[in-house]
Amino acid sequence: MKKILAEIAYDGSIYHGFQIQPTKPTVQGEIEKALMKINKKKVKIHSSGRTDKGVHAKRQIITFDININIRLNNLKRALNAILLKKNIKILNLKHVVKNSFHPRFNAQKRKYSYCILNSNNYYPWEGYQAHYVNKKLNINNLNQMAKALIGNHDFTTFSCIKDKSKSKFRYIYFAKFKKRGKYIIFEIIGSSFLWKMVRSIIGTMLDIEIKNESISTFETILKSKNRTLARTTAPANALFLDKVYYE
In whole angstroms, give the CA distance from residue 120 to residue 133. Answer: 9
Nearest partner of 63 among 45, 85, 81, judged by Cα: 45
**Pairing verdict, β 169-180 and 151-154:** antiparallel
187-215 as b/e: b if 16+ CB within 10 A: bbbbeebbbbbbbbbbbbbbbbbeeeeeb
CA 179 to chain centre: 20
In whole angstroms, give the CA distance from residue 143 to residue 148. Answer: 9
Nearest partner of 192 among 212, 209, 166, 170, judged by Cα: 170
Check if 207 is active-site.
Answer: no
Catalytic residue chosen out of the listed positions 52, 154, 207, 242: 52
Which residues are identified as catalytic? 52
